[in-house]
Amino acid sequence: MILNDAIQEIVDNVSAVSAELDQENVEEMLKVLRSSDNVFLMGQGRSGLVAKAFAMRLMHLEIGVYVVGETITPAIGNKDSLLAISGSGETSYIITTAQTAKKRGARIIAVTSYPDSTLGKMADLVVHIKGRTKIDSEKNYIKRQINGRHQSLSPLGTLFEVTTLIFLDGVIAQLMADMGKTELDLKQRHTVLE
Amino acid sequence: MILNDAIQEIVDNVSAVSAELDQENVEEMLKVLRSSDNVFLMGQGRSGLVAKAFAMRLMHLEIGVYVVGETITPAIGNKDSLLAISGSGETSYIITTAQTAKKRGARIIAVTSYPDSTLGKMADLVVHIKGRTKIDSEKNYIKRQINGRHQSLSPLGTLFEVTTLIFLDGVIAQLMADMGKTELDLKQRHTVLE
Amino acid sequence: MILNDAIQEIVDNVSAVSAELDQENVEEMLKVLRSSDNVFLMGQGRSGLVAKAFAMRLMHLEIGVYVVGETITPAIGNKDSLLAISGSGETSYIITTAQTAKKRGARIIAVTSYPDSTLGKMADLVVHIKGRTKIDSEKNYIKRQINGRHQSLSPLGTLFEVTTLIFLDGVIAQLMADMGKTELDLKQRHTVLE
Amino acid sequence: MILNDAIQEIVDNVSAVSAELDQENVEEMLKVLRSSDNVFLMGQGRSGLVAKAFAMRLMHLEIGVYVVGETITPAIGNKDSLLAISGSGETSYIITTAQTAKKRGARIIAVTSYPDSTLGKMADLVVHIKGRTKIDSEKNYIKRQINGRHQSLSPLGTLFEVTTLIFLDGVIAQLMADMGKTELDLKQRHTVLE
């Protein structure tokens, strides 16, 4: 099924990104997450859902965290950080928000496929998560043509969004180890009201 | 316009509820809100929006607050309280949630039109906010018939929802006075990221 | 209680706005709501909650409606309209969004306290909902001083937000009458999954 | 880094699930999605975010879709279906909701790790997405012990949630092919208001 090909394309991207991760860069990110009074998370569309999935686990780890746009999110300050997820790094709402956060002294972490984007350039720290690149697209296009298929297997931001989610779940595993937290610790913070 | 009649019906309900408020009951509510580690808020549908509008202002007052169902809401504990908004007091999801919260030792505040409902009966404190009553409905029905109108001016839970919102905004004014907070204090907590 | 004074201040504002409504302007608004393929609603913070409360009732009336930022909201087109709620009319995210919608041919309805704001000026139709005005503030300030009170009774955007909600619930009553819809019709569209 | 191990554990689970997919079962699911008037989606916590990510893409494909709990979600009917995502298949809110939907004649699709759960048993169609199994846990536990690590690499529902997301993105690719939709078609439905 095409379904299996699409899953394979996603898995390949995730594995490639995992192999290319820069350990120093990741450690710097972990340091910012753990040293911030509160980490503010944001993304638009499906990237916003990824931000929320990460926020939930950070809360389970007792790291202070807020999601931009939710009800109880307070003003950001100079001991906080903003982690913004944007494949293109050019989402206008995210750039405006990051500029406001920066002016108020918060540190900015950009998670993006384009380190040279507007968001990437203004960030204190950039985590590079490759999404669909031109070369990938061509390779896949040829493969699909051979099979008589012309549709995209992972349309729009799919590769970036899913790969970012899995990378951030890896970050949670790393934080658990670094902070000496067990699954039971997370479970005790997990909401019981649903 | 019917529009003005509908607004009048809402205003009349709000004024009636305000006149009948039981000061001791309200003071007990204020005490629970201020003495809880965190206040968890919930409601379904439009009552849920009212819960969020109240949550935003409690956050501005630096009262610890979470909205049930939002991303970063942790487990509730025995130093917390749950304020549940339900006109009928019979919304099944709310009852289940309140039962869980009660078992974990949290205090339950019910805001409802029916103090004798399942939610009302299980609550530690009931705030009675009158919505549409049978008598009201009949009076209005006659008035509307005289005018040749048969539609409802405030359909479904409208009266309860709007009256509860305004009552809770009154609670905010009271808390500001009691806590010595000014509008500037609130402004400084107000989100800047939007 | 201060609580009752705060409720009175809100009720007074609602009544004043109701008395000053321009019938022609309201009828133009009703026409836009009923003639749009879909009405897109937006607001930030508590104004966003008001937008959602209105959206729910429009859906009950079977008027096509989407909330900007929710999961299934599609691209806006030239047969749609955007109703934007902003007290100041200067919320940057709302202005950017309204500009995009306008470029794509959608009609813009601004609900604001400031018809001369950036949002008000770009709108095809402005509904003026008075919030706190300078004169009100002074009168209230004197009244509060006489009573030895210096806090605001309805902080930040409270008056605008609550008054807008009640105005829009009036619009629903008007639409019900105009469309010949009964409360039972609304009930049949009301979600059963909660 | 532990981070890479965690990513590997997720990738392994995704690949295993992909290899074991039952084509007939998937085709039945595609048929239900395409023949429903509207597909209602739900999940709690991170599974709810996965439901939303899928809903967004279904909307891009012009399949009628609603998310349970969002503002404009109407009553479900007997030409609709409910796709419920629950790892355990025992989330009480989801079971109650599915029962209501079933009574009203909607078809139920369960996406779960436990086909024999309460949700699985009541569903018309079960899609089995393996999460963490006991055997996996033991194998991983030994591996982690050898490496002197005792923390979980993918805590709580992580494996189920991420694997479900990728499976559903595969379903989108399959639907695009089956429906003759290109990425450009999706782009034209993609929200422009953010």
| Per-residue pLDDT tens listing for chain D (194 residues) | 999 999 999 999 999 999 999 999 999 999 999 999 999 999 999 999 999 999 999 999 999 999 999 999 999 999 999 999 999 999 999 999 999 999 999 999 999 999 999 999 999 999 999 998 555 555 665 666 666 555 579 999 999 999 999 999 999 999 999 999 999 999 999 988 86
pLDDT at B135 over 80: no
- Angstroms from A105 CA to nearest CA on chain D: 25
A-contacting chains (≥3 CB pairs under 8 Å)? B, C, D
Distance from CA of A20 to the nearest CA of D (A): 10
Taking CA D105 as the corner, what is the angle to CA D22 and CA D101, rounded to the nearest 5 degrees?
80
What kind and span of H or E run contains B82? strand B81-85
Question: Do D52 and C69 make contact, defined as CB atoms within 8 angstroms?
Answer: no
**pLDDT band, very low/low/confident/very high, at A132 (cuts 50, 70, 90):** confident
pLDDT band at B192 (very low <50, low <70, confident <90, very high): confident
Q: What is the chain A residue with the closest CA to C71?
A: A45
Residue of B nearest to D74 (CA): B45
**A73–B193: do the CB atoms touch at under 8 Å?**
yes
**Nearest 10 degrees: Cα torsion C20, C21, C25, C29:** 150
Who's near A121: CB < 8 A, 6+ residues apart?
none
> Which of D4, D152, D177 is nearest residue A151 as measured by Cβ atoms?
D177
* Per-residue confidence (pLDDT) for residue A141, from 0 to 100: 59
Please give the average per-residue pLDDT across C171-188, as a whole number. Answer: 94
Residue A149 confidence (pLDDT): 55
CA distance C10 to C25: 23
Query: What is residue B140's predicted lDDT score, i.e. its pLDDT?
Result: 63
Cβ contacts of C101 on chain D, cutoff 8 Å? 193
Q: How far is B128 from chain A (nearest CA, A)?
A: 24
- Partner-chain contact B152 C173, CB within 8 Å: yes
Binary contact (B70, A67; C-beta < 8 A)? yes
Alpha-carbon Rg for chain A, nearest whole angstrom, is 18
CB contact under 8 A, A75 and B189: yes
Q: Can you tell me the distance from the alpha carbon of A132 to that of A156, in angstroms, rounded to the nearest whole number?
A: 9
Chain C partners within 8 Å of D55 (Cβ): 71-72
- How many other CB atoms are there within 10 angstroms of residue B76's CB atom? 25
Q: Is the dihedral of CA D26, D30, D33, D36 positive or negative?
A: negative
Q: Which tokens belong to B136?
A: 């009201």
pLDDT at B97 (0 to 100) = 96
Q: Which residues of C fall within a CB distance of 8 Å from B6?
A: 169-170, 172-174
Greater confidence (C133 vs C59) lies with C59
CB-nearest partner of D7 from A23, A167, A181? A167
CB contact under 8 A, B169 and C6: yes
Min Cα distance C131 → chain A (Å) is: 22
Residue type, C12: D
Counting Cα atoms < 13 Å in the Cβ hemisphere of C152 gives 19
pLDDT, mean of residues C149-177: 92
Q: What is the CA radius of gyration of chain B?
A: 18
d(CA B111, CA B114): 9
Of C56, C100, C188, the CB nearest to D193: C100
The β-bridge partners of C47 are none
Q: Which residues of C touch B169 (CB under 8 A)?
A: 6-7, 10, 154, 158, 162
Among chain C residues, the shortest Cα distance to B23 is held by C1
Hey, of A165, A167, A168, A178, which one would you mutate to test binding to chain D, going by the most D CBs within 10 A of its CB? Answer: A165
Please state, in angstroms and rounded to a whole number, the distance separating the CA atoms of residues B87 and A72: 24
Taking the C-alpha atoms of residue B46 and residue C37, their distance in angstroms, rounded to an integer, is 24
- Contacts of residues C13-17 at CB distance under 8 Å and 24 or more positions apart, as own/partner, are C13/C130, C13/C131, C13/C132, C13/C136, C13/C154, C13/C159, C13/C162, C13/C163, C14/B7, C14/B10, C14/B11, C14/C162, C14/C163, C14/C166, C14/C167, C15/B7, C15/B11, C16/C130, C17/C129, C17/C130, C17/C163, C17/C167
